[in-house]
A and B are shown apart, each in its own frame.
Chain A
Amino acid sequence: MDSPTDKPKQSAARDKPLSPLSITFHRVLKNRAAMVGLAITLFWVGCAILAPVLSPYDPIKMSPADRLAAPSDQHLLGTDLYGRDLLSRIIWGTQLSLRVGLVSVGIGVLVGTILGLLAGYYGHVVDEVIMRLIDAMLAFPGILLALVIVALLGAGLANLIIAVGIGLIPSFARLVRGCVLSTKEELYVLSATVLGCRTWRIVLRHILPNIAAPLIVLATLNVASAILNAAALSFLGLGAKPPTPEWGTILSEGRDFLRVAPWIMTFPGVAIMTLVIGVNMMGDGLRVALDPRMKV
């Protein structure tokens, strides 16, 4: 039972204004689409973490007797040309897709943020040089920049991650620069400058936390496009090499068996699409939560 002295405390707690983080959290919780997206994403994250437990077979072990077997009780999603269980390959593939998405976005965020901070904070020549370079990178449409980088570094998962990551740098650099330009004129940043704060401290303690929100939204949405681009490059034979269970690679292997074994291309496609839908819905929800004016 509450003691009489607890009541004013509770009331004070109720009156206390919510922090921006709590407001955002509540808005995301209220956004049905974002919650559906979060649930889908968590489902795939769970699959990735529990892959050794969930996967019924070894994803790369061949079983010639079971080749091109249709979905059945034994193989829920069927098998591929080499008799490998598709369900197991898709479950293990989740790890790769998420790794590619997260690490490449990490590269994009890290390099893009540094370039954006330098351009926005120092302005003048630094800004001009960096932003023209970013404009030039943006002139390479779609996945073409990643394609050139993979071509030069050679096919493979690590190179694929680097290539997709480099392709994401321009969008982060532009966003961060724009945010820094408006944030650095704020009174608290000017005060810190007047008080003699060191540049790195101003950037890390006062500017960066204030541009985190749009950065998180863009990063989330870019995880989705990174997964799509990586799957596309793998489909084209420039990503993970067989027998690695990567979704784009599995789909590509199913291309030649469309007529006799359509399940090989169907299920990895469903996996890619649902994961990307989940991340996109989550990103959209975050965007609405962090800035309701941006609702689309």
Chain B
Amino acid sequence: MWEHVARRLVLSVVVLWLVITIAFAAMHFLPGDPVAVMLQKSGGSAARIAELRHQLGLDQPLAVQYVKFLGGVVRGDLGRSIFTGRPVTEVVLEQFPATLELALASMIVGVTVGIVLGLVSALREGSWLDNVLMVFAVFGVSMPSFWFGLLLIFLFSLTLGWLPATGQGGLNRLIMPAIVLGLGIAATIARITRSSMVEVMRKEYITTARAKGVKERLVILRHALKNALIPILTMVGLEVGWLLGGAVVTETVFSRQGLGRLTIQAVVQMDFPLVQGAVLFMAVFYMASNLIVDILYVAVDPRIQTR
């Protein structure tokens, strides 16, 4: 087991190094010149361009810049925001709790609804209920989250006046964003749960359990669902990526604070160090979540320990 975890850790370090390198390369090798793009709006003079290049360290040899960048990331120093002058790490860490709150709430909504719908669908395989639920799943993965968010605001805030449309703090301001972000997860998890459960319910050990007279509820929860969990768990890990990407849109629609909205603001303001830092932070968080899921496999499926 520990060998498996150690191998994953080493691999993650290699990928992490590549992620940092991509973030660095994006600034230096893509056709767009960050400084030119940044000064596009203000129409900067040659002196201003040189000043900004110096400020960003872009006037140094590439190798020096790379080593400095790498060293900075390792120390947790992601540079300074061009717009506010504040350290990027500080700004990112300040916004992270809001995104984490939204991500956790959405994950709870998505996983709970997804597993319940997937279970019901699998247990009623081929019925009208199964068809209706799977149509819901197609709707869930196809609905643009920004549109769904606006529809909810229109209905529950502007028309019915039940929930505040925007802002932070309190459960009533979290409900709509969590539903918007959770819908896509619920749809994906429902599809995976259904297919996984349908497969498991045909296994011989389920027939054996039933033949032994085990109650159906226990057969489903203890024998079937536990064995169907592996693909669901994989999907939960991958959905963290959807949450972070989706947070960019959801936080903008509901005018919430968070890493997503921060990234968009940084993109609009051409604050490249901040864009780089925020995206790098999210990538590392995503990698860490998938690593945790990988380690959790061992807890869910003891067979992995012996492999």
Contact = CB atoms under 8 A, between A and B. Distances in A.
Interface of A: 132-133, 135-137, 139-144, 147-154, 224, 228, 231-232, 235-238, 248, 251, 254-255, 258-259, 262, 265-266, 268-269, 272-273, 276-277, 280-281, 284, 295-296
Contacts of A139: 15-16, 19, 283-284, 286-287
Contacts of A269: 144, 147, 150-151
B106 interface: no
11 contacts: A137-B22, A142-B242, A144-B263, A147-B275, A148-B23, A148-B275, A149-B26, A152-B26, A268-B147, A276-B143, A296-B195
A148 B26 contact: yes
B188 to A, nearest CB: 10
Contact of A273 (B11, B22, B31, B142): B142
Given A136-B22, A142-B242, A149 B30 contact: yes
B160 to A, nearest CB: 13
A154 B144 contact: no
Which of A135, A137, A150, A254 has the largest count of B CB atoms less than 10 A from its CB?
A135
Contacts of B21: 136
B147 A152 contact: no
A201 to B, nearest CB: 33
A224 B138 CA distance: 12
Contacts of B284: 139
B30 A153 contact: yes
A280 B138 contact: yes
Nearest to A255: B150
Given A137-B22, A141-B240, 14 more contacts: A139-B16, A144-B248, A148-B279, A152-B27, A152-B34, A153-B30, A154-B40, A235-B144, A236-B249, A254-B150, A258-B154, A269-B150, A272-B147, A296-B195
Interface of B, secondary structure class, is helix
Interface of B: 11, 14-16, 18-19, 21-23, 26-27, 30-32, 34, 37, 40, 138-139, 141-147, 150-151, 153-154, 158, 191-192, 194-195, 240-246, 248-249, 252-253, 263-264, 267-268, 270, 272, 275-276, 279, 282-284, 286-287
A132 B14 contact: yes
B19 A152 contact: no
B254 to A, nearest CB: 12
Contact of A232 (B27, B31, B144, B282): B144
Contact of B147 (A148, A224, A273): A273
Nearest to A133: B18
B158 A141 contact: no
Contact of A258 (B150, B240, B243): B150
A265 B154 CA distance: 10
A144 B245 contact: yes
Contacts, number: 147
A265 B147 contact: yes
B58 to A, nearest CB: 14
A277 B249 CA distance: 20
Contact of A152 (B18, B37, B244, B287): B37
B234 to A, nearest CB: 14
Contacts of B26: 148-149, 152
Nearest to B289: A141
Nearest to A136: B18
Contacts of B240: 141
Nearest to B151: A269
A151 B21 CA distance: 18
Contacts of A135: 11, 15, 18
Contacts of B276: 148
A136 B15 contact: yes
A125 to B, nearest CB: 14
A135 B279 CA distance: 16
A149 B141 CA distance: 24
Nearest to A166: B30
A231 B144 contact: yes
Given A141-B286, A144-B263, A296 B19 contact: no
A88 to B, nearest CB: 20
B18 A132 contact: yes
A71 B271 CA distance: 41
B195 A142 contact: no
Nearest to A37: B138
Given A140-B283, A141-B245, A153-B30, A277 B19 contact: no
Contact of A265 (B23, B142, B150): B150
A89 to B, nearest CB: 16
Nearest to A33: B138
B140 to A, nearest CB: 10
A148 B249 CA distance: 14
Nearest to B34: A152
A268 B150 CA distance: 12
A238 B275 CA distance: 14
A269 B150 CA distance: 10
